[in-house]
Structure 1
Amino acid sequence: MLLIKNGKIITMTGVTHENGCVLIENGKIKAVGTKIEESKEYEVIDASGAWVLPGFIDAHCHIGIFEQDMGFEGSDGNESTDPVTPELRAIDAINPMDSAFKEAAQAGITTVMTGPGSANVIGGQFVAMKTMGVSIDDMIILEPAAMKVAFGENPKRIYSSKKQMPSTRMGTAAKLRETLIKAQNYRMKKERASKKDESFDIDFKMEALIPVLEKKIPIKAHAHRADDILTAIRIAREFDLKMTLDHCTEGHLIVDYIKDCGYPALVGPTLTARKKVETKNKTFKTLGILSKEGIKTAIITDHPVVPINYLPLCAAMAVKEGMDMDEAFKAITINAAEICNIEKRVGSIEVGKDADIAIFDGNPMEIFTNTLYTIINGKVVYNR
């Protein structure tokens, strides 16, 4: 058993213990409070003067699938030979040996949502996973966790160069609608065949979309520009889908529409140059504007676009530009967990949850703060 004592325990449940303790047993949080009786059998971390938080969560990145320092050999995030590839699974491309996982853990980031890029209209399945391990199968929290879809510049740029559809925003939307209608028809035929006990030919692509139609997983919509965000909302409503608005760069320009639709916003990568026309209005103010309207937000790096270890720095920049600090902490902990549908396991320091905890020598949003310890599943994976 592991006991963390004397720390500032920020639980992300609305309770902070200024001089508190956390007891960990068998990879889970067993107790949280101001005083937990110490035993000789416990391994003890004295966190006097330190901040203790739930491990941070990056709700949208490409860690392990676009590997650091690898170039083409480690670039496995876009199967840009077909604009519709829902059957692709991130777990078949993620390399847990990617050096970025170690850097994430050293920054207190214990969970990520990672998967395909945005070359295709439908890119494939994302996975929610821990940032430390040898086999992806042992690191998974939720799989599939979401289905990647993309709007805007990327699909039209990739496929116009191949002289095929989509080469316009109209084409992207049409391809997505066409595929969702095919999936609906496929599901109905499969259900009829099952009721009649008839044989049925499995379509691998369509099978991957059934959890989307049944609202078991959301579509993860890459959309920067305001009109692309609104197109994503329009299609999600047409087909009654769950959705997250990923990037949401111009979300601050259409706040009322985002608030009305009820879909959460995953904002980022903002700590970058404006390299594309659709990111010309990028600003760290977006997060504060959205969160103040009650829109559930998460802060994302889109790693490797922004190195994943800069996630706390992105939160700090959002605070600097008007976001409430408590909301910024939520955006990289409990909000991110809830948006990723993994809040029963991670995102806060509560009894019964995974013992994923990060300990810092000060406020982790401050540039000079160091990570002292990172704990994943109750094991210390980083000790400064």
Structure 2
Amino acid sequence: MILIKNGTVLTMAGEPIENGQVLVKEGKIVAVGKDISLTENCQIIDAQGGFIMPGIIDAHCHIGMWEEGIGFEGDDGNEITDPATPQLRAIDAINPFDTAFPEAYENGVTCVCSGPGSANVIGGQFTTIKTKGKRIDNMIVQKSASMKVAFGENPKRCYNAKKQAPSTRMATAAILREYLFKTKNYMENKEKNSSFDMKLESLIPVVKGELNVKAHAHRTDDIFTAIRIAKEFGLKMTLEHCTEGHLIADELAKEGLAVIVGPSFGSKSKVELKEKTFETAAVLHNAGVKIAIMTDHPVIPVHHLPMCAALAVRAGLSEEAALKAITINPAEILGIADRVGSLEVNKDADIVVFDKHPFDIQAKTTCVLIDGEIAFKK
């Protein structure tokens, strides 16, 4: 057993607990509160007046897909040979020995949703994993977390260079629709037709609404195209990036879709980022949209996720909403809130201790637990 004590506990499930405690046993949280009674000997971790919070979650990144400091040999995020590759799985490309992983968990990021990039209209399947481990199979929280689809500049730029479709936004939408129609037809005739199609098999859970679609869309028109197609086919969808979301927050609130915002740090490197601002998260949240904040690692290094949330606070997002945007909200959006995202009894003991408030630029982690095991201790 491990008892973490003498810190402000940010449970993300209620009010902060001053001078609170968290008790861990066999990888799970067994008690949260003040003056927890102990029935057996346990290891004590003293937060020394710091902050105790759930492990931080990045709901959209590419960690392990574009490895640090390697170049082409470590570049496994985009299969730019076919605009529709739903059969691809992130678990077959992520390298747990990428140096970005220890940087992640040593700085409090304990769970991530990582997957293919946005070169293809249909990029493949994201996976949700813990950030510490040697073997990807043992790190998995969700083997297939979502299906990546992309709108806007990236697919048309990549395939225009090859002189093939999609070279326009029309073709991007048409290719996605074509594969969704083909999948529906494939499902209806599966018993009569013995031929196997791995692409269409991979899209069956999407068409059934069992697997979320992760829709890369920055510009307002691309966002609305994603929503239009989701409605046409009854897809379960989250909006990723949503860079111009603050311009249409009222419309997005009506749709009831969750938005994973970012990356908002850095330069406006392409046309569809011209409206990029840290204010997007606050505007969407204030309109009633459920938000999470992402790094899109390696665009922003994943361990800087707390900084991104802090900058959103400076731009108008409440501190509480920003904390939720990197803990319980991404957990709920990803469908893993029964395990992570808050400090509650029976959840995974993914816990971070900071010496200062996590949004203080000088804050450092002093201890990180993943599944009840000490992953990092200063």
Q: Do the structures match in fold with TM over 0.5?
A: yes
| Structure 1 position 202, deviation (Å) | 2.1
Distance in structure 2 (CA, Å) of the matches to 1:60 and 1:73: 22
| Structure 1 position 200, deviation (Å) | 2.4
Partner of residue 269 from structure 1, selected from 260, 263, 272: 263
Partner of residue 373 from structure 1, selected from 361, 367, 373: 367
Q: What is the match of residue 218 of structure 1?
A: 212
| Residue 139 (1) aligns with residue 133 (2) | no
Q: What is the match of residue 240 of structure 1?
A: 234
Q: Which runs of 4+ in 1 moved over 3 A?
A: none
Q: What amino acid does structure 2 have at the position aligned with 1:284?
A: F
Q: What is the match of residue 32 of structure 1?
A: 32
Distance in structure 1 (CA, Å) of the matches to 2:220 and 2:119: 19
Kindly provide the CA deviation profile for residues 2-30 of structure 1, in whole angstroms up to 9, marking residues without a partner as x: 11112211110123211111111111111
| Residue 209 (1) aligns with residue 186 (2) | no
Q: What is the match of residue 14 of structure 1?
A: 14
| Structure 1 position 201, deviation (Å) | 2.4
Distance in structure 1 (CA, Å) of the matches to 2:331 and 2:286: 19
| Structure 1 position 239, deviation (Å) | 0.6
Contact preservation (8 Å) 2:279, 2:315? yes
Distance in structure 2 (CA, Å) of the matches to 1:47 and 1:361: 7
Partner of residue 331 from structure 1, selected from 325, 330, 334: 325
Distance in structure 2 (CA, Å) of the matches to 1:355 and 1:90: 25
Distance in structure 2 (CA, Å) of the matches to 1:160 and 1:359: 48
Comparing 205-214 with 117-126, greater Cα deviation is found at 205-214
Q: What is the match of residue 353 of structure 2?
A: 359
| Percentage of identical aligned residues | 57
Q: What is the match of residue 307 of structure 2?
A: 313
Q: What amino acid does structure 2 have at the position aligned with 1:218?
A: N
Distance in structure 1 (CA, Å) of the matches to 2:142 and 2:188: 27
| Residue 80 (1) aligns with residue 74 (2) | no
| Residue 249 (1) aligns with residue 243 (2) | yes
Q: What is the match of residue 153 of structure 1?
A: 153
Distance in structure 2 (CA, Å) of the matches to 1:92 and 1:214: 24
Distance in structure 2 (CA, Å) of the matches to 1:201 and 1:326: 52
Contact preservation (8 Å) 2:48, 2:355? no
Q: What is the match of residue 283 of structure 2?
A: 289
Comparing 254-263 with 148-157, greater Cα deviation is found at 254-263
Distance in structure 2 (CA, Å) of the matches to 1:46 and 1:288: 34
| Structure 1 position 63, deviation (Å) | 0.1
| Structure 1 position 34, deviation (Å) | 1.0
| Structure 1 position 109, deviation (Å) | 0.4
Partner of residue 231 from structure 1, selected from 225, 229, 237: 225
| Structure 1 position 46, deviation (Å) | 1.3
Q: What is the match of residue 377 of structure 2?
A: 383
Segments of structure 2 that go 5 or more residues without pairing to the other structure are none
Q: What amino acid does structure 1 have at the position aligned with 2:84?
A: V
Structure 2 vs 1, CA of residues 199 and 176 (structure 1 numbering), >3 Å: closer, same or farther?
A: closer
SS state of the match for residue 155, structure 1?
Answer: helix
Kindly provide the CA deviation profile for residues 183-209 of structure 1, in whole angstroms up to 9, marking residues without a partner as x: 11111112xx1xxxx672221111111
| Residue 68 (1) aligns with residue 62 (2) | no
Kindly provide the CA deviation profile for residues 125-181 of structure 1, in whole angstroms up to 9, marking residues without a partner as x: 000000000000000001200000000000000001111110000000000000100
SS state of the match for residue 382, structure 1?
Answer: strand
Q: What is the match of residue 295 of structure 2?
A: 301
| Structure 1 position 32, deviation (Å) | 1.0
Distance in structure 2 (CA, Å) of the matches to 1:29 and 1:216: 29
Distance in structure 2 (CA, Å) of the matches to 1:50 and 1:44: 15
Distance in structure 1 (CA, Å) of the matches to 2:38 and 2:103: 32
Q: What is the match of residue 169 of structure 1?
A: 169
Distance in structure 2 (CA, Å) of the matches to 1:43 and 1:185: 58
Q: What is the match of residue 47 of structure 2?
A: 47
Kindly provide the CA deviation profile for residues 85-144 of structure 1, in whole angstroms up to 9, marking residues without a partner as x: 000000000000000010011110000000000000000000000000000000000120
SS state of the match for residue 381, structure 1?
Answer: strand
Q: What is the match of residue 182 of structure 2?
A: 182
| Structure 1 position 40, deviation (Å) | 5.9
Kindly provide the CA deviation profile for residues 209-239 of structure 1, in whole angstroms up to 9, marking residues without a partner as x: 1111121121100000111011101111111
| Structure 1 position 293, deviation (Å) | 1.1
Distance in structure 1 (CA, Å) of the matches to 2:32 and 2:15: 10
Q: What amino acid does structure 1 have at the position aligned with 2:7?
A: G
Q: TM-score w.r.t. structure 1 length?
A: 0.97
| Residue 123 (1) aligns with residue 120 (2) | no
Distance in structure 1 (CA, Å) of the matches to 2:209 and 2:348: 26
SS state of the match for residue 189, structure 2?
Answer: helix
Kindly provide the CA deviation profile for residues 230-251 of structure 1, in whole angstroms up to 9, marking residues without a partner as x: 1101111111111110000000
